[in-house]
Structure 1
Amino acid sequence: MSTPTKTRRVWSNRLAKLAAAQQAAQEDVLVGIFLARQDGVPQQVIADALPGVSASGVAAKTRKGEEIMRRRKGAISP
């Protein structure tokens, strides 16, 4: 049995919205890491607070967060 077109369209739209929200949330975490580092929070504290993040990976995430923040403020183009 095939799925009706309307059902496929509805779910396609819902899943696209969820994927966009997930991307925004991931970017928000990177910006949060950048802001935490700006406030002097040690890399280990950040790593302990976020699952799957190591202290050695915080520096790269900090740079990405800074880039995202600048892009959002319009300082640089995407």
Structure 2
Amino acid sequence: MNPLTKSAYVIAAASKWNPIIAIIVVFLFFLAFNQLEATVELLLFGKRFEHWLDPLFMLAWMAYAGAAVWYCAAHNCKREAV
């Protein structure tokens, strides 16, 4: 498993396989990432600005949340099948 896949699996497991909690956790990580990005921009350039990478960052975090939800669903399907 690569580190991103493993971390999405760990988030799913830590949320007790609940997809809503997994999405909330990923959203909180996204907020922390945005705050860090804004702080770095303020320290380097003196102002915060919008740039073309913001939509790409949002898409990446949505895909990451999707991976966490997928692991929740895969685990819940296995559990129900048994």
TM-score, L = length of structure 2: 0.38
**Which is bigger in relative contact order (C-alpha 8 A, separation at least 6)?**
2
TM-score, L = length of structure 1: 0.40
Rg larger for: 1
